[in-house]
Amino acid sequence: MTIKTANRIRQIQEYFFSKKLKEIAAMKEAGKDVLNLGIGSPDLSPPNEVINILNQESQFDQNHSYQSYIGVEDLRNAFSKWYETHFSVDLDPETEILPLIGSKEGIMHISMTYLEEGDEVLVPNPGYPAYRSAALLSGAATVEYSLSIENNWLPDLDQLSQMDLTNVKLMWLNYPHMPTGAKATKIAFENLIAFAKKHQILLVNDNPYSFILNDNPLSILSIEGAKEIAIELNSLSKSHNMAGWRVGMIAGKAAFLSEILKFKSNMDSGMFLPVQLAAAKALELPKVWYENLNQIYRERQLKVFQIMDLLGCEYDKNQSGMFVWAKVPDKEKDGFKLSEKLLNNAHVFVTPGGVFGSNGDQFIRISLFNKLPVFEQSIERIKKIAA
């Protein structure tokens, strides 16, 4: 007997990396040593003082109970101080911060809170696939807005203003941008705020990459008047090497967060308390922590640049984030073909840019989350097939 799935599931596909990891696992099982340069999962640990808090707090019986849906005061206060210190943004820890079990769940919470059938959502092309999936699962329709290298991977607001935006309720932003590594400017955010207010569109900036190879972290909430029309997601996954810990947050006006909490409180029962307390400790790390981490990434980035040079790809040396985004040479049909060639002939996996939308078809993306010997081994393998 076949049980019919809901229509919402038939609108989406299994996540690309979920399928690709299974393919790579099968190749390894068959004896092929695949070097995975595609996945954005940190390979380093948070500092010992953070891990120690987790270990210490896990020893107490009372810390294993259900927790508040809004996170503990220690964590909300730490997020508030973090935003004040690094973004010059004042957030009320009682009403303007909502901790999350990873910011990815926040994408779904926001979508389910504000979107329904008949609504439209502006999603970037290229952009993080979860924005599109969450919109479709909520019953809304997606409307792509094009990002291009010619416009520094920023939204073309003149082009958007010529579109029918009547049914658009929400617009996803992601700066620093994944997958391109482009950074937004204060002026770009100011223009986006004005655009959103004019068209009554809720802006959501997904901001987990601010501290990776970026000397000037910027929050959309630092723009005057932003809180009236914008909210922001953030995460400790990349900035503090805590991806598996699943600690994120939404920041914004209390009225927005209280509505999102209505949905969230029906979906989970709060984060494990020792994780929250350890996350609070991580948010207190000094600036030198980020500087030391970025020194490691800069060394790795240079190795990735070597790989891109071997492949004949074009790239911006000033891009931020934990990936290198590069245009494939004209001799290659697209990023998918180049990715498959490298996987099959060199047993090196790089991410095809088309995973993130059609505007990424002519690009590939390589993650910085591997030790230097892995990149060096990849260089030697690629040299052999490029010769």
3-state helix, strand, coil in the chain (%, to 5): 45, 15, 40
Task: Supply the pLDDT for residue 12.
Answer: 66
Token pair recorded at residue 362: 């002519």
Give me the amino acid identity at 186: K
**pLDDT for res 59:** 96
What's the pLDDT score for residue 15? 66
Q: Which of 212, 207, 135 is nearest to 169 (CA)?
A: 135
For residue 128, give the nearest of 363, 368, 317, 360 by alpha carbon. 360
| Cis peptide bond prior to 176, omega within 30° of 0 | yes
Element (H, E) at 51: helix 48-57
CA–CA distance, 112 with 131 (Å, rounded to integer): 12
Q: Where are the beta strands (DSSP E) in the chain?
A: 35-36, 97-100, 120-125, 141-146, 168-173, 202-206, 230-235, 248-251, 314-315, 323-327, 348-349, 351-352, 363-367
Query: Residues of 342-367 as b/e, b for ≥16 C-beta within 10 angstroms?
Result: bbeebbbbbbbbbbbbebbbbbbbbb
Pick the CATH number of 65-282 from 3.90.650.10, 2.40.50.140, 1.10.3720.10, 3.40.640.10: 3.40.640.10
Ranges of CATH 3.40.640.10 domains, the chain: 65-282
CATH 3.90.1150.10 in the chain is located at: 7-45+288-386
What does the pLDDT read at residue 48?
Answer: 95
Q: Is residue 321 classed as helix, strand or coil in its secondary structure?
A: coil
The answer to whether the CB of 36 falls within 8 A of the CB of 20 is no
As to burial, measured by CB atoms within 10 angstroms (0-12 exposed, 13-18 middle, 19+ buried), residue 117 is: exposed
The upper half-sphere exposure of residue 95, i.e. CA atoms within 13 Å in the direction of its Cβ, equals: 6
Q: Say how far apart CA 142 and CA 122 lie, in whole Å.
A: 6
Q: Is 334:361 a contact under the CB 8 Å cutoff? A: yes
Which H/E stretch holds residue 192?
Answer: helix 186-199
Task: Please report the pLDDT score of residue 20 as a whole number.
Answer: 75
How far lies 263's CA from each of 12, 109, 270, in Å?
A: 22, 6, 13
- Model pLDDT for residues 302-337, shown as the tens digit of each residue: 999 999 999 999 999 999 999 999 999 999 899 999
- Amino acid 229: pLDDT: 98
Question: Closest Cα to residue 355, out of 364, 346, 347, 367?
Answer: 364
> What backbone torsions phi and psi does residue 141 show, to the nearest 5 degrees?
-105, 145
Cβ within 8 Å of residue 85, ≥6 positions away: none
Top CATH class, 7-45+288-386: alpha beta
pLDDT at 3: 81
pLDDT per residue over 87-105, tens digit each?
A: 999 999 999 999 999 889 9
What are the tokens at 75? 């964590």
* Of 303, 206, 298, nearest in space to 248 by CA: 206
pLDDT at residue 14 in the model: 64
Contact 200, 181 (CB under 8 A): no
List, for the chain, all residue ranges whose pLDDT scores fall below the cut of 70. Answer: 12-15, 17, 387
Contact at 8 Å (CB) between 281 and 50? yes
Q: Give the percent of the chain with pLDDT over 70.
A: 98
pLDDT of residue 385: 84
Torsion of CA 366, 372, 377, 378, to 10 degrees: 10
Tokens 């500092």 sit at which residue?
A: 47
Give the per-residue pLDDT at 40: 82
Measured CA to CA, the distance from residue 215 to residue 228 in angstroms comes to: 27
* Per-residue confidence (pLDDT) for residue 7, from 0 to 100: 78
